[in-house]
Amino acid sequence: MLILSIRKYSSQLVLLLAGVLLIAAISCGGSDGDDDSAAAATSTSAPAATAKPEATAKPEATLKPGTNPISATATAAPVATKADVAEPELLKRGGVLKYGADPNNNHVFFQQYTPGAGAFWAMTVGDPLMAYGADSEWLKEKSMAVSFDVSSDAQTLTFKLREGVKMHDGTDYNAAVQKFSLDWVLDPDNTAVTRPQIATIDKVTVIDEFTIELHISRVYTPILSALGMMGGMPFSPTAWEEQGADGFKQNGAPSNGPFRVKEWIQGTRTTFEAHPDYWNEGKPYLDGWIWEEIGDSQVRGAALTTGAIDLAQIPPSDTDTVAALRAGDAHPFVNFAGVRISHHNAARAPFDDKRVRIAAQMALDRQAWNDVLLGGEGHTYMGSVLPPTSGFAFEVDEYPYEYNPEKARELLEEYAAEKGLTLPLTTMSAFTCSAAQAEAGCVDLVEQPISIVTTSSAENVKRAEFEAAYFNAVGFEVTMDLGSGNEAPRTFVSKDASFSLRGFGVRPHPSGSFDSYMGVGGYWNNGGWSTAPKQLELQAILEAAAATYDYSEQVQLYKDAQELYMLEALGGVKSANNPTFWFSNSNVKWEGWPNDKAVMFPSDSSMKVYNMWLDN
Amino acid sequence: MTRYLLSRLGQSIVVFLIVSVVVFFAVRTVPQDPIYALVGEDAEGYTPAQIETIREEFGLNRPLPVQYMSWVGDALKGDWGLSFQNKLPVIDLIKKRIPFTLTLAVGAMAISIVFGISTGVIAALTRNSKWDMMATGSAMFAVAVPEFWLALMMILFFGVTLGILPVYGAVLIWDDPIEGFRLLIMPAFALGIGGAATLMRQSRSSMLETMGEDYIRTARSKGVKEKTVIIVHALRNSLLPVVTILGLRIGRVLGGAVVIETMFSWPGLGQLAVSSLQKADYPVIMAIVMFSSAAVIIANFVTDIAYSYIDPRIRYA
């Protein structure tokens, strides 16, 4: 029957078979190289090698390498020198590195990106006024400032700028360019996303061609490191006149970094090419690099395995891909730049009672949290509210409020008995603002269910469900409020969240995170309405830390603040520091290889692509 | 016929309007504020006044009905607004994506038609044979298997294990025919195989039904060649329900294959829809949904017309 049928329809079958064979032939035809396909699909022609101009006088920073600028106030005349990094023996030049990441680039104007979203590529495009390395040390190889001075009232900062720097559009970098960029960012009408980073600057003055003076509205020493973020990166005023912000969003803002935007195709890729006149002679080693937007992390893993890309970003929640790549030849880069914490609403009962906050601490099994949600790759240490990379981390040998559900329940029972309640605790009390608070925008609230608030992302929902189960097990009754957490100001100012799951990445300087966690406008304080004595004490420490240029004193003050927060105030349940993963294939090398810390900016988890090269 | 067409056109316009109203208000119920998507969820350093300024700039401070009417008015004039995220004209963003979506749609439809109809017809002609059972079983599997899983398996097998196909990316066929085709194979197959299974099942049952008709028996008894009986008499008449399914499939694949485009980093409308939803970029979302709706409505409209041509009784009913 089958033979008869085949005979009858032989011509159609032959056509069908021919089609299948054609597909197979075409599939195999171009498969002589693992990365051919994607390369053809994604690569761009590398720019031809450009002769570097003779080294011009390059001023040297007046501080020794590794010296923290916060403690440095002395200045000296700039000295002409080249970059102080010796060229590695096995260095190879040329090639285009491909980095697979989430579709993230909605445009390519770095002044309109938050640090987490745009830092990776922005740090390859611009060299900011100041730049910082792994231990909050001044990274001169990325800084436009070669020295700086601080006035006696600590509110005027004078920077000597690097000379001989060319912008991507061929114009010269100088104090006027830096001022133009800073003024643009600071102008509220421009609604620059980076403005908050440097908002304490109230005046920028050009002293001479390579000297600029910044006046800050209050003594706020973290401004130095804030200038190491995108807000401190210059862009060409000439290009601005021609293109404006909308043009920059499509073409990239010509800046002064080792790479410049060559092409942006939304949802597909952003191509960067080496800046031919980059001031740091010899850098970058690559002809260019490509930000390939690959939406699925498993596909990114597969692309890395096949060699279609050289670097892949893998979220910690994709534990399978992380495990598979770890088991293979890929080189892992791990940075613990994120903090996961569930803030309490300390302004309202029952969380205004320390016993209840301790119970919440003891309710959560952090090891299980780490194992289930991060595949065991997170850090569950409890001492610090900051990642361990910055030198500001506070550690305790033994955390007094580790997982102990029995004790947690005892505390809640004690609290409930005292208040005439029965477990589970289901509601938060009503809140009445004082007259002063009301004048400042505080709104009275009625009694509300105890809720856990977070965004609607799958990762956060899973996390919320996990934590709610543990809180409920000891005597809370937590309702889920998913999707509301995107609007932090609304959630916290209106104080209607009981537990709010937050994730934080840190900045070059941790002050921003400290303020968010613990300051009067911070999260646990729910808009600043808490009257807890510890809140005021914390605020005083934070203000003192932000007002000193003495680095060691500042570190100690921030550690004191963390200790107070984690052991006494207990503003939230920290679960773990989550890792950020990159994997590279064996083709990727860098200065200091194979030490991955040597090529990362741990503060924002971006990479020094200008120090990387491809082996083949 | 003209009356029939006008009637269908009128229905299509009503459906289009209803979709626009529903989608306009529905996207605004998503718990994501476009302003905070732009300035960061903590809006650190922004004053409420600045937030309101941005909201005003986007026209989001006006009552929803006013916003809707304004959007409709602009859309009718061909102005689909600017993306909240990058201030680029939405129409330009869509235009750049359409060629990729069309390419994928054509590829997926080709696979659906070639595999679906041919295996359906063969299965019908070899009814109850092991080939029939294999084809039917495969169709069941293809209908049941999720697209994302199939895509992943293909990536792992053809991309990683065999290394013969690229695992992501897209090039337009007319820019680089060979590479464009290689990049198209997996996403088109993953998107089209579900449709192929549906078409196979429909073709098979329709063909079986047609082959049992009196006129087929008459044709055979008149000594017409079997090949002619099948191709000229049976196949054409059995295609009527298949055309209906094809019309629905065309609308679906043109509407943006969200999952497949995301998996393969295919820069089409589906991928743009996902990123726009994540950022609550209302103008882009609206434009994509309206384009998708238009694709479905037009596909159905064309299907109806084709239907009336294939079966003239429908025209006069």
Q: What is the pLDDT of residues B125-184, one digit of tens each?
A: 888 898 899 989 988 898 888 888 999 999 999 998 999 999 998 989 899 999 999 999
Residue A377 above 60 pLDDT?
A: yes
State whether A596 and A497 are in the same domain. Answer: no
The number of C-alpha atoms within 13 Å of A43 and in the hemisphere containing its C-beta is 20
pLDDT band for A60, please (50, 70, 90 cuts).
very low
Q: What is the pLDDT of residue A419?
A: 94
User: Quick check: B271 and A295 CB within 8 A?
Assistant: yes
Is A87 inside a domain boundary?
no
Of residues A509, A491, A511, the one with CA closest to residue A501: A491
As a whole number of angstroms, the distance between CA A606 and CA A612 comes to 13
| Whole-number percent of chain A with pLDDT over 70 | 73
Residue A473 above 90 pLDDT?
A: yes
Interface probe with B: pick from A12, A13, A15, A27, most Cβ of B within 10 Å: A27
Q: Which domain holds residue B38?
A: 1-317
pLDDT tens figures, B179-195 = 999 999 999 999 999 88
Which token pair is A87? 């060229």
As a whole number of angstroms, the distance between CA A156 and CA A139 comes to 22
Weakest mean pLDDT among A157-161, A162-166, B96-100: B96-100
State whether A524 and A594 are in the same domain. Answer: no
Q: How far apart are the CA of B247 and the nearest CA of chain A, in angstroms? A: 23
* Count of domains forming chain A: 2
User: Residue A223 sits in a domain of what CATH number?
Assistant: 3.40.190.10
pLDDT tens figures, A177-193 = 999 999 999 998 887 87
pLDDT tens figures, A273-326 = 999 999 999 999 999 999 999 988 999 999 999 999 999 999 887 888 999 999
Q: Which domain holds residue A302?
A: 93-330+585-614
What sign has the CA pseudo-torsion A562, A568, A569, A570? positive
Weakest mean pLDDT among A58-67, A164-173, A283-292, B105-114: A58-67
* Count of domains forming chain B: 1
The amino acid that residue A150 corresponds to is V
Contact A480, A468 (CB under 8 A): yes
Q: What is the pLDDT of residue A517?
A: 66
Highest mean pLDDT among A150-159, A313-322, B295-304: A150-159
State whether A142 and A194 are in the same domain. Answer: yes
Is the backbone of residue A80 left (phi > 0), alpha (psi -120 to 50) or beta? beta
Which residue of A2, A28, A191 is in closest CB contact with B126?
A2
pLDDT tens figures, A578-596 = 787 889 998 999 998 888 8
Q: What is the pLDDT of residue A268?
A: 84
Only one residue has tokens 């409505």, namely B297
Is A63 inside a domain boundary?
no
User: Quick check: A266 and B96 CB within 8 A?
Assistant: yes
pLDDT band for B279, please (50, 70, 90 cuts).
confident
Residue A503 above 70 pLDDT?
A: no
Residue A598 above 70 pLDDT?
A: yes
Q: How far apart are the CA of B315 and the nearest CA of chain A, in angstroms? A: 33
pLDDT tens figures, A4-39 = 343 444 444 344 444 444 434 444 333 333 333 333
Residue A404 above 90 pLDDT?
A: yes
Neighbours of A328 (CB within 10 A): 12
As a whole number of angstroms, the distance between CA A454 and CA A441 comes to 24
As a whole number of angstroms, the distance between CA A309 and CA A318 comes to 18
Residues of chain B found within 8 Å of residue A119, distances taken between Cβ atoms: none
Highest mean pLDDT among A72-86, A172-186, A594-608, B10-24: A172-186
Highest mean pLDDT among A11-15, A238-242, A605-609: A238-242
Neighbours of A31 (CB within 10 A): 17
Per-window interface: A 62-101 vs B, CB < 8 A? none
Q: What is the pLDDT of residue A549?
A: 78
Only one residue has tokens 């019309």, namely B247
DSSP β-bridge partners for residue A478: none
pLDDT tens figures, B235-244 = 878 887 787 7
Q: Distance between alpha carbon A503 and the CA centroid of its chain, in Å?
A: 11
Q: What is the pLDDT of residue A105?
A: 82
Q: What is the pLDDT of residue B300?
A: 81
Q: What is the pLDDT of residue A289?
A: 97
Residues of chain B found within 8 Å of residue A249, distances taken between Cβ atoms: 86-88
Of residues B179, B168, B147, B188, the one with CA closest to residue A298: B168
Q: How far apart are the CA of B159 and the nearest CA of chain A, in angstroms? A: 7
State whether A478 and A549 are in the same domain. Answer: yes
Work out the average pLDDT over B97-106. 92
* Closest alpha carbon within chain B to A38: B166
Contact A46, A287 (CB under 8 A): yes
pLDDT tens figures, A418-467 = 999 999 999 988 888 888 777 766 777 788 888 887 776 777 788 889 99
User: Residue A523 sits in a domain of what CATH number?
Assistant: 3.10.105.10
pLDDT band for A207, please (50, 70, 90 cuts).
very high
Q: What is the pLDDT of residue A309?
A: 95
Residue A62 above 90 pLDDT?
A: no
Q: How far apart are the CA of B223 and the nearest CA of chain A, in angstroms? A: 15
Q: What is the pLDDT of residue A288?
A: 97
State whether A217 and A318 are in the same domain. Answer: yes
User: Residue B289 sits in a domain of what CATH number?
Assistant: 1.10.3720.10
* Closest alpha carbon within chain B to A18: B114
State whether A600 and A551 are in the same domain. Answer: no
As a whole number of angstroms, the distance between CA A463 and CA A211 comes to 50
Is A216 inside a domain boundary?
yes
Q: What is the pLDDT of residue A63?
A: 32
Residue B31 above 80 pLDDT?
A: no
Is A31 inside a domain boundary?
no
Residues of chain B found within 8 Å of residue A488, distances taken between Cβ atoms: 36, 41-43
**Quick one: which H or E segment has residue A19?**
helix A10-29
Residue B12 above 70 pLDDT?
A: yes
State whether A323 and A374 are in the same domain. Answer: no
Which residue of B31, B87, B230 is in closest CB contact with A249?
B87
Interface probe with A: pick from B28, B32, B36, B42, most Cβ of A within 10 Å: B42
State whether A229 and A291 are in the same domain. Answer: yes
In this prediction, the answer to ipTM > 0.85 reads no
**DSSP 8-class letter at B278:** H
**DSSP 8-class letter at A504:** E
pLDDT band for B302, please (50, 70, 90 cuts).
confident
pLDDT tens figures, A77-89 = 333 334 444 456 6
As a whole number of angstroms, the distance between CA A574 and CA A19 comes to 58
Which residue of A30, A188, A486 is in closest CB contact with B33?
A486
